[in-house]
Structure formats: C-alpha cells, structure tokens
Amino acid sequence: MSVRRLAEDQFQPAAFAFTAENAAWAEATIRKYPEGRQQSAVIPLLMRAQEQDGWVTRAAIEFIAQKLAMPYIRVLEVATFYTQFQLKPIGTKAHIQVCGTTPCMLRGSEALMEVCKRKIHHEPFERNESGTLSWEEVECQGACVNAPMVMIFKDAYEDLTPERLEEIIDAFEAGKGAEVKTGPQIDRHTSAPAGGPVTLLDEIRPVRSNLDPKPAEEAVSVPPGDAGRPKDTAAETNPAVKTPVTAPAAAQANAKAAEAGPLSGTEKSVPDPKAVGSTAEGAPAEGSDVAGTKK
Ligand code: FES
C-alpha cells in the first residue's frame, strides 16, 4: 500500500470550479441531507470533482471544503483515506487497481501486478508512454470470494488470470472498456460457488410474519446524533485556513496571524465558520485580520 499524498505543486491547477451541470447536481445532492448535515455530501462531491477533472486536485478539495463549510483538513482526510480518490493524474483510458490483500495475494495478485508492470509501467501511479494507462496496488475491495480481482474506475473484474487481465487491459487501451464483462470472469454467478450451488438446494419458504413492516404508530423517528462530528478548536481545523498554492494572500495572512499569537483554543483566534470574511480569491476581506475573522 502506498503513501497517499497530494500531487506535487507542478501538477496542481490554481483553481477549481464545477461545470454548470455539475454545480446544479452538487446543489441538488447537498439538499438531500437534513439541515446541519450537509457535510455528509463530501464524498459524492469529491467523486464528482474526480469524474470532472480525472483526479482530485488540491483546489477541488479547498473548493468543496468552502462549499460545505468544512475545515480543509477534514476534506483532505477523506480524499487521502479512500483509494477511490486519485490524488494525481492517472491513465485517461484506465487506472487498474490491483487488490494485493491476503486472499487475492494467495490466489495470484502478484502475477496480475507483473502484468501491469510489463504492459503499463514498472512503477505504480506512473502512466504509460501515451498517458492512457496507469495502475496501483490497493487493499481489499470486498470481493475476496472471487479473488484475485482488480477495480477499473467503478467496476470490479474478478476471478482473474494474468492472461484475462492482459485481454482486459488491451480492451481498455483500444477504447472498448465498456464492452468488457464486469464481475466474475469465469462461469460463476456473482459470488456463488464456481460451477453452481452445492448447498441449500431445496426450496425454502421463509416465514415472513416477523419481517412485515411495523404499523406506523410503532415507528419512532430518531434525530441524527452528534457522535460523528468532530469538536475541536485546533488551528488546522479552522475553515478559514487556506493553502499557499490556491489562496496565497489568505495563506500569508494566516501565517502572519499565527506569528502574532496563538491561532487555536481561544474565541479570538478561531473564527466563526459562518462568518464570511474572505474574498472570492481567498484574500482577507477589509476589516479582517485572518481570512474569515472579523476584527
Ligand atoms: S482480498 Fe482482494 S478483494 Fe478482498
């Protein structure tokens, strides 16, 4: 498993914005969540940003943090945790994620990685010469029964042999990835035993009486809890904090404010996330000492 860091500065664009269509989709997605829980849209928004640009840029992380009134570090944590999010440019036609966890390793994932090294690039995350293909090793993708397997974008390809993986890579390189059958690549129905079921062959009629829906008067509405909401006042969780690449003026102001005094733990130093004190470019607004902090 490789270390997950943002791409180097030379790859990072200066700004990010959703297209008009994606912006409308993002607004509709945010509205799906109850009042006060809009931050739950962070994963769908990151995924949409990735689908738009091909990978998740630092500017996109900042844009989404601002959109959801979240600290930048919280969105960064999500983007760097899940291997579904690509943090640097990947192959334009396919990025092969080879599962290398124990069941897949015991069933031949190392041979699959040899295929990737030979056909794409010796190093993971490096693109082939034409920039169309890349690969990486990932942890368990939840299809261990059908090991070994790879993910390509949102689809899984299971029960693989090196030869079958070569065919799949060739199909994607030829622009015919959509024609490749997803799921098991052998005669297996989903994750049932290869060759067909061997147990529970009799027809079983379930007794459904205890599964029927409860009458409406018994249903209880439970409001969402606060258990998953971080409550800290550390400086790095301040939503006004910007990175120097996408908001140089605001980052400079943050640094100056940090030199002048502690940024965390006091009412003076931690701005109200709802108080808008920065300009569109991220520079502190007039009357602000730190972006987002009114004097
Ligand atoms: S170990 Fe590979 S999918 Fe679980």
109 alpha carbon – ligand 1 mean position (Å): 10
Question: Which has the higher per-residue pLDDT, 263 or 41?
Answer: 41
Summarised one tens digit per residue, pLDDT across range 193-216 is: 888 888 888 877 766 666 666 666
Atom of ligand 1 nearest to the CA of 104: 2
* Distance, CA of 275 to CA of 254 (rounded, Å): 16
Ligand 1 lining (C-beta closer than 6 Å): 99, 101, 103-104, 140-144, 147, 149
State residue 215's pLDDT score. Answer: 66
208 alpha carbon – ligand 1 mean position (Å): 34
3 alpha carbon – ligand 1 mean position (Å): 19
User: Ligand 1 test: best mutation among 112, 140, 146, 155, most atoms within 8 Å of CB?
Assistant: 140
> Which ranges in 82-205 belong to alpha helices (H)?
102-106, 109-119, 162-173
Kindly report whether the global pTM for this prediction surpasses the value 0.75.
no
pLDDT band at residue 256 under the 50/70/90 scheme: confident
Choose the weakest-confidence range: 190-194, 205-209, 261-265.
261-265
How many helices and strands, by DSSP H and E, does the chain display?
8, 5
User: What pairs with residue 134 in β-bridges?
Assistant: 95
* Distance, CA of 284 to CA of 291 (rounded, Å): 4
Looking at residues 261-282, what average pLDDT do you find? 46
Summarised one tens digit per residue, pLDDT across range 89-129 is: 999 999 999 999 999 999 999 999 999 999 999 999 999 99
pLDDT band at residue 144 under the 50/70/90 scheme: very high
pLDDT at residue 52 above 70?
yes
pLDDT band at residue 265 under the 50/70/90 scheme: very low
103 alpha carbon – ligand 1 mean position (Å): 6
Tokens standing for residue 238: 């301040």
State residue 228's pLDDT score. Answer: 66
Chain center to CA of 76: 10
* Distance, CA of 50 to CA of 56 (rounded, Å): 5
pLDDT at residue 185 above 60?
yes
State residue 148's pLDDT score. Answer: 98
State residue 242's pLDDT score. Answer: 72
Atom of ligand 1 nearest to the CA of 143: 3
Packing angle of the helix pair 72-81, 58-67 (nearest 10 deg): 130
140 alpha carbon – ligand 1 mean position (Å): 4
The whole-chain average pLDDT of the chain stands at: 84
